[in-house]
Structure 1
Amino acid sequence: MEETISLKELFQTLKKRLWLIVLITIIAAIISAVISFFVITPTYQAKTQILVNKTKSDEQLYTGNEVQTNIQLINTYNVIITSPAILDTVKDELNLDRSVGALTSQIAVSSATDSQVVEISVQDPSPYVAAQIANKTAEVFKNKISNIMKVDNVSVLSKAEVKGAVAPIKPQPLLNIAIAIVVGLMVGVGLAFLLEYLDNTIKTEQDIETILELPVMGVIANIKEVPQATNVAARAPFNHRAPQRGETYGS
Structure 2
Amino acid sequence: MVERLSLREAAGVLRRRLWLVIALSLSTALVAGILSFFVLEPQYEYSSQFLVNQKSPRGVTGDDIRTNVELINTYKGIIHSPIILDGVIKELKLKMPAEKLREKINILSEESSQLVTVKVADPDPERAAAIANWTVRIFQMKIPQLMNVDNVKIISEARVEADSQPVFPNKGLNITIGIIIGTIAGAGIAYALEYLDSAVKTERDISEKLHVPVLGVISHIKDQDFASVRRSRAGRQNGRRNAIDVP
Q: What is the TM-score of this pair, normalised by structure 1? A: 0.85
Unaligned runs of 5+ in 1: 230-251
> SS where residue 34 of structure 1 aligns?
helix
Contact 2:54–2:60 (CA under 8 A) maintained in structure 1: no
**Separation (CA, whole Å) in 1 of partners of 2:201 and 2:93:** 73
Cα distance in 2 for partners of 1:163, 1:2 equals 60
2:119 to 117, 121, 131: 121
Structure 1 stretch 137-146 or stretch 204-213: which is displaced more? 204-213
Q: What residue number does 2:165 align with? A: 167
Question: Counterpart of 1:144?
Answer: 142
State which drifts further: 47-56 or 188-197.
47-56
Distance (Å, rounded) in 1 between the aligned partners of 2:114 and 2:153? 11
The structural deviation recorded for 1:65 is 2.0
Q: For each residue in 1:132-176, what CA deviation from the matched residue of structure 2 results, as whole angstroms up to 9, or x when unmatched?
A: 101110011001111211221211100111121100001111111
1:53 paired with 2:43, answer: no
Whether contact under 8 Å (2:85, 2:101) holds in the other structure is: yes
Instruction: Report the aligned-residue RMSD.
Output: 2.1
The whole-number CA distance in structure 2 between the counterparts of 1:22 and 1:72 is: 56
- 2:199 partner SS: coil
Query: Corresponding residue for 1:130?
Result: 128
Provide the secondary structure at the position in 2 that maps to 1:48. Answer: strand
Q: What count of residue pairs does the alignment treat as equivalent?
A: 229
What TM-score do you get using the length of structure 2 for normalisation?
Answer: 0.87
Alignment correspondent of 1:199: 197
Q: Which runs of 4+ in 1 moved over 4 A?
A: 222-227
Alignment partners' CA distance in 2, 1:96 and 1:2: 62
Q: CA deviation at 1:3?
A: 4.3
Maintained 8 Å contact 2:25/2:179: yes
Q: Alpha-carbon deviation of 1:21?
A: 0.2
Q: Residue 8 of structure 2 aligns with which residue?
A: 8
Identity of matched residues, %: 43
Q: 1:5 to 1:134 in 2, by over 3 A?
A: same
The 5-angstrom pairing of residues 90-239 of structure 1 reads 90-222=88-220, 224=226
Larger relative helix fraction: 2
- The verdict on how the C-alpha distance between 1:109 and 1:52 changes in structure 2, with shifts beyond 3 A counting, is same
Question: Matched residue of 1:123: which SS?
Answer: strand
Aligned position for 2:19: 19
Deviation of residue 213 (structure 1)? Answer: 2.0
Once the two structures are TM-superposed, the CA of residue 113 in structure 1 deviates from its matched residue by 2.1
Give 2:73's aligned residue. Answer: 75
* Paired residues of 1:55 and 1:151 also in contact (CA < 8 A): no
- Distance across 1 between alignment mates of 2:220 and 2:49: 81
* Structure-2 separation of matches of 1:162 and 1:209: 72
Q: Aligned partners of 1:190 and 1:153: how far apart in 2?
A: 60
Write the distance in 2 (CA, Å) between the matches of 1:137 and 1:176. Answer: 32
The answer to whether the 8 A contact 1:54-1:150 is kept is no
Deviation of 1:55 after TM superposition, in Å, equals 3.9
Preserved CA contact (<8 Å) 1:53 1:151: no
For each residue in 1:187-216, what CA deviation from the matched residue of structure 2 results, as whole angstroms up to 9, or x when unmatched? 111111111111111111111112122211
SS at 2:51's partner residue?
strand
Letter in 2 for 1:143: M
* SS of corresponding position for 1:130: helix
| 1:114 Cα deviation after fit | 1.4
Q: Give SS of 1:119's match.
A: strand
Say which SS state the counterpart of residue 52 (structure 2) adopts: strand
Where 1:170 maps in the other structure, the secondary structure is: coil
Taking the aligned partners of 1:104 and 1:128, their CA distance within structure 2 comes to: 18
Q: What's the counterpart of residue 35 of structure 2?
A: 35
